[in-house]
Chains A and B, each alone.
Chain A
Amino acid sequence: MNDLKFALRQLRKSPAFTSIAVITLALGIGLNTAIFSLINDLFLKGLPFQEPERVLHILTKGKDRTDEFQMSALRFMLYRDGQTIFSGFAAENQQAATVSGLGDPLSVPIFKATANWFDVLGVRPIMGRTFLPQEEEGADVAIITDRFWKARFAGSQDIIGKTIVLDGVAHTIVGVIAKMPVSWTGPNADVWTTKPMVIPGFSYEKMMRGSAFLRVIGRLKPGVTLDQAKAALGTLEDSYRSQFPERGDAQARNIIKTLPEDVTENLRPGFATLLTAVGFVLLIACSNVANLLLVRFSGRRREISLRLALGATRGSVLRLFVFESVLISLLAGILGAALAWQLVPLVPKLTANFLPIEQGSASALSVPVLLFTIGLSLVTGFAMGLYPALQSSRADIVDALKEGGRGTQGSVRQQQFRKILVGAQVALSVTLLAGASLLITSFVRLSQQDPGFNTDKLWIGVTVLSQAQHPDQARRARFAEQLQTALRATPGFEDLMLSSSFPLFGNPGATLYTRPEGNVPPVAERKGAPSNDIMPGWFRAAGIPLIAGRDFNEQDVMDHPNVIIISKAGAKTVFGDENPIGKTLLITNGSVPVEIVGVVGDVRSVQLNHANNMEFYRPFAQESWPFLKIVVRSPLPPETITYSIQTALRSIDPSLALIWPQPFSEIMAQALGQARLMMWLLGIFAGVALLLASIGIYGAVAYTVEQRTGEIGVRMALGAQTRDVLRLVVNQGMKPVLVGLAIGIAAAFALGRLIGSQLYQVSAHDPLLLGGATVLLMAIALMACLLPARRATNVDPITALRSE
């Protein structure tokens, strides 16, 4: 206790040292706490399901394809009937529906699930029950979340048995569940119904051709391992391929993930990078404080010697120093937690809500995070204090007690330790700086990437055409024409685009295609490409150039020949130097023949960082879905546009609602979300690392200069001139810097693999950027050396010689 009091008193006695050490370390601990808090929210909190790691999500991946798909209905049925490894095997199918009868019509995502869906997840209802097997195919029943229950039914206690109208059909509410995690369902998931094999506008026959639309999960039976499950599902995969070789997904392979893996895998590389980066910052901060402690403890040689002379053991001296070090780190932990508390809520905003965290729920102050901070502080305090304490407690009693000993220059070992600290700081900083410069360049290139269409002043919204009112292509096309006519008359609308999908907004899926000539490959071996059903004039309005042929027109309707427009890259991929206009493609797994009437410019429709080999466009009158994307180019405020569109929709069909109305800039921001997150965070970390490293180098060199004042005086007395002294100090200061730079560059090269997958149009080993990072750090290190070196040149040899 006395030691603790003494340590506290020592820290109070030197407020400047204490403040610098605490702030330096608080930066490191705070940034680590912030990242750990995000990791806790995203990775560690776990899904609120029963043993989620025992639940597998089974996806499929086409032959020679990189993207993953859900599962087709036929494959699901075969797997469900043939499997023996799961205690439950379930599926759901996400759509959107319009809720009416609860005030203004409201569009929501709905999940059409098999009856056992919640049992497989291990979710128990708060009220009522989950679905019954007999309700799976025929009953109109619904389960809602407690959030929806409170918001739309005011938490009414007699909710069970009430009805909710979805796309004009009344559904009986049979249960209320707790809201599901965003990482699993996406935002605004509140309503589940049955009939998972029913898709509006999609015939049963069409559905059974192999289109993948079911999210399939299975709960492993007790004792069944993941490897056993993979083997068993592999057998079912072979069985499907041999039984249904003509289905579009016959060649697809199983992709099996546990639920925790499934919801986090996209974020893992990014957060692994961030965790490494923030670890580097902490190490730099620790080495700075360790250096300060070494100086401070070495300066107390007389005190230590006196204690030893009075009977103290080395252990008790060690304890005294370690207490001081741990106290500093605990104070830094408190400050760091406060810093993280401020930082964490900023992160989701920074990433345009790219991270799957419930809005407003990101917080640094949870029990696991605070425990992490305390643990990190204790470990940090102990680790950084131990070596300086060990070194300084080696004092030679007689030598130190005698005035006029060799002073406090410190042992060769201490000097070496200081050089190692500087070298390590530089190595860590240059690695971070190189990583940050790669990610910043990558972000800049990605944000400058032309998506192939004009995104200026765009607004987007979606409406879902109910099956009852708009059951077929013809009626959907008529609705679209009516809406187009109504909206074109709206003042302030410069361009209008109606289509069933829009680039970078949702998943456009993949439509299979092949040329009809020669050896036509079986459906299962055909390639797929995004397909868009568009109204005439869509290309002009979107700013996509027509390169050859013609645009769609009023003649491209249902009873006329099927026509298609393809992208320039698609024309090159499929037809090479041939003219594609007038040629035929077989598309969809129904091998529908379509004539190519035009070629348009390429568009980044799936991801901003990915160019598609092929993109299809079909006339809305010949092919359409009930999900209509309404896109407007207008300088008007988004709220005004939303209001105008809602008014126009209701004038045609009062039951229709508008979903997700938003400026397109938000979609673009989300497309850049991960790149922006990485750029900002790594940029901040690299900035802090640079600052700490430059302080560290400055501190080490300044301390050396102070300790060598006498030597410098002697050298000047022996003829050294200003440039000689400068050279001496800078040479010695820069030696560990250069070693650190070499190690850092090698580390940056090696760690390039870690961020390689997150880079866009920049090599992880870009020599210019790595060189730039090296030069920048070298320049900063040189400045940090030059300042004390300049001071060294002002040493008065007479004073220096006298003080020796």
Chain B
Amino acid sequence: MIKLRNLERRYPLAKEKFFYVLRDINIDIQEGEFISIMGPSGAGKSTLLHILGMHDHGWRGEYFFRETAVHHLKTKERATLRNEQIGFVFQQYHLLDDLTVYENLDIPLSYRRYSKSERAALVADTLDRFQIVGKKDLYPRQLSGGQQQLVGVARAIIAEPKLLLADEPTGNLHSGQGEEIMELFRKLNDEGMTIIQVTHSEKNASYGKRTIQLRDGWITKREQ
């Protein structure tokens, strides 16, 4: 599904000097995999996730997404590809404060080619699937952290992406809530969704089928 070759991300420091965030990254990810990326702070985990999510365009190297050479795509084409194929879950949930749960779920659909009735049907299905129908008219501030992240995951998958990227999805949750979210990820993965998560937690990483260790921008270990 994903093939990264000689990928690097650097920032200019002084004349012809650079600070490397990622170096010589070579990764192959198959459809249906559940990958955990681990490493200390500053290792380049989130940067890698944003490159995979096509938010970050300042990298060099080759990136193939389902046979499409992302490195040859223009920014707008990458955005279209991202909208069609990728969903995001954030550590801080990033729900929009002024929108209800229902409206938050509708947001990704409103940026894609769905008709109004399709959007309503998808939101209703998702509310049902995540068992949050009763909360559809509540605002994020009226939900607990776990509930907010549940909505965050629901929002990430509502447009039926092939790949789900999660940046420390349980970082702001207590252990019970964190387990619920990880169980949910496992369930989604079992249903065929490819998941890549960044995590500090060995326990959360164990939900994945494979772990990639990063340190100072280099891949230091690949574990099955």
Instruction: Please list the residues of chain A having a beta carbon within 8 angstroms of any beta carbon in chain B.
Output: 406, 710-711, 714-715, 717-721, 724, 797-798, 801, 804
Interface of A is mostly: helix
Q: A719-B79, A798-B50, A798-B56 are in contact. Are A724 and B111 (CB under 8 A)?
A: yes
Residue on A with the closest CB to B110?
A724
Complex Cα distance A163/B132, Å? 107
Q: CB-CB < 8 A to B110: which residues of A?
A: 724
Q: Are B107 and A797 in contact (CB under 8 A)?
A: no
Q: Are A715 and B107 in contact (CB under 8 A)?
A: yes
Q: CB-CB < 8 A to A406: which residues of B?
A: 97
Q: Are B111 and A717 in contact (CB under 8 A)?
A: no
The A-contacting residues of B in range 154-187, CB under 8 angstroms, are 155, 159
Stretch at the interface among B31-39, B88-96, B196-204, B208-216: B88-96
Q: A406-B97, A719-B111, A720-B111 are in contact. Are A798 and B55 (CB under 8 A)?
A: yes
Q: Are A721 and B76 in contact (CB under 8 A)?
A: yes
Q: Are A714 and B96 in contact (CB under 8 A)?
A: yes
User: CB within 8 A of A714: which of B76, B79, B94?
Assistant: B94
Q: Are B56 and A717 in contact (CB under 8 A)?
A: no
B83 within 8 A of A: yes
Given A719-B108, A804-B94; 13 other pairs, CB 8 A cutoff: A711-B97, A714-B94, A715-B111, A718-B88, A718-B155, A719-B159, A721-B76, A724-B110, A798-B55, A798-B56, A801-B90, A801-B94, A804-B92
B136 within 8 A of A: no
Q: CB-CB < 8 A to A718: which residues of B?
A: 88, 107-108, 111, 155
Q: Are B96 and A719 in contact (CB under 8 A)?
A: no
Q: CB-CB < 8 A to B96: which residues of A?
A: 711, 714-715
Complex Cα distance A698/B90, Å? 32
B71 within 8 A of A: no
Complex Cα distance A714/B79, Å? 14
B112 within 8 A of A: yes
Complex Cα distance A717/B97, Å? 16
The A-contacting residues of B in range 35-93, CB under 8 angstroms, are 50, 53, 55-56, 76, 79, 82-83, 88, 90, 92
Residue on A with the closest CB to B99?
A711
User: How near does chain A come to B14, taking the closest CB pair, in angstroms?
Assistant: 22
Q: CB-CB < 8 A to B56: which residues of A?
A: 798
Residue on A with the closest CB to B109?
A719
Residue on A with the closest CB to B94?
A714
User: How near does chain A come to B106, taking the closest CB pair, in angstroms?
Assistant: 11
Most chain B CB atoms below 10 A, which of A711, A720, A798, A804: A798
Q: Are A719 and B112 in contact (CB under 8 A)?
A: yes
Q: Are A717 and B83 in contact (CB under 8 A)?
A: no
CB<8 Å pairs between A and B, sample of 24: A406-B97, A710-B94, A711-B97, A714-B90, A714-B96, A715-B111, A717-B53, A717-B55, A717-B88, A717-B90, A718-B88, A718-B107, A718-B108, A718-B155, A719-B79, A719-B108, A719-B159, A721-B76, A724-B111, A797-B55, A798-B55, A801-B92, A804-B92, A804-B94
Q: How large is the interface on B (under 10, 10 to 19, 20 to 34, 35 or more residues)?
A: 20 to 34
Q: Are A721 and B79 in contact (CB under 8 A)?
A: yes
User: How near does chain A come to B168, taking the closest CB pair, in angstroms?
Assistant: 12
Residue on B with the closest CB to A406?
B97
Complex Cα distance A715/B107, Å? 8
Q: CB-CB < 8 A to B76: which residues of A?
A: 721
User: How near does chain A come to B80, taking the closest CB pair, in angstroms?
Assistant: 8
Among all A-B residue pairs, the 9 with the closest Cβ atoms: A719-B111, A719-B83, A714-B94, A718-B108, A720-B111, A797-B55, A798-B50, A798-B55, A719-B108
User: CB within 8 A of B111: which of A710, A721, A797, A804?
Assistant: A721
Q: CB-CB < 8 A to A714: which residues of B?
A: 90, 94, 96
User: How near does chain A come to B36, taking the closest CB pair, in angstroms?
Assistant: 20
User: How near does chain B come to A633, taking the closest CB pair, in angstroms?
Assistant: 72
Complex Cα distance A710/B98, Å? 13
Residue on B with the closest CB to A720?
B111
Most chain A CB atoms below 10 A, which of B55, B83, B155: B55
Complex Cα distance A711/B55, Å? 15
Complex Cα distance A719/B97, Å? 18
Q: CB-CB < 8 A to A804: which residues of B?
A: 92, 94
Most chain B CB atoms below 10 A, which of A718, A720, A721, A798: A718
Q: A801-B94, A804-B94 are in contact. Are A719 and B55 (CB under 8 A)?
A: no
Complex Cα distance A718/B82, Å? 9
User: How near does chain B come to A127, taking the closest CB pair, in angstroms?
Assistant: 81
Q: CB-CB < 8 A to B83: which residues of A?
A: 719
User: How near does chain A come to B49, taking the closest CB pair, in angstroms?
Assistant: 10
Complex Cα distance A135/B53, Å? 107
Complex Cα distance A720/B90, Å? 16
Q: Are B82 and A719 in contact (CB under 8 A)?
A: yes
Q: CB-CB < 8 A to B53: which residues of A?
A: 717
Complex Cα distance A714/B94, Å? 6
Complex Cα distance A801/B50, Å? 11
Complex Cα distance A358/B155, Å? 76
Complex Cα distance A719/B112, Å? 8
Residue on A with the closest CB to B112?
A719
Q: Are A717 and B112 in contact (CB under 8 A)?
A: no
User: How near does chain A come to B212, taking the closest CB pair, in angstroms?
Assistant: 20
Complex Cα distance A721/B111, Å? 8
Complex Cα distance A804/B94, Å? 8
Residue on A with the closest CB to B111?
A719
Complex Cα distance A720/B110, Å? 9
Residue on B with the closest CB to A711?
B96
Complex Cα distance A625/B55, Å? 93
Q: CB-CB < 8 A to B97: which residues of A?
A: 406, 711
Q: CB-CB < 8 A to B90: which residues of A?
A: 714, 717, 801
Q: CB-CB < 8 A to A797: which residues of B?
A: 55
Most chain B CB atoms below 10 A, which of A406, A721, A797, A801: A801
Residue on A with the closest CB to B76?
A721
Q: CB-CB < 8 A to A720: which residues of B?
A: 111
Complex Cα distance A406/B155, Å? 22
Residue on A with the closest CB to B87?
A718
Q: Are A717 and B79 in contact (CB under 8 A)?
A: no
User: How near does chain B come to A258, taking the closest CB pair, in angstroms?
Assistant: 60
Residue on A with the closest CB to B53?
A717
Complex Cα distance A721/B155, Å? 17
The A-contacting residues of B in range 139-163, CB under 8 angstroms, are 155, 159
User: How near does chain B come to A468, taking the closest CB pair, in angstroms?
Assistant: 92
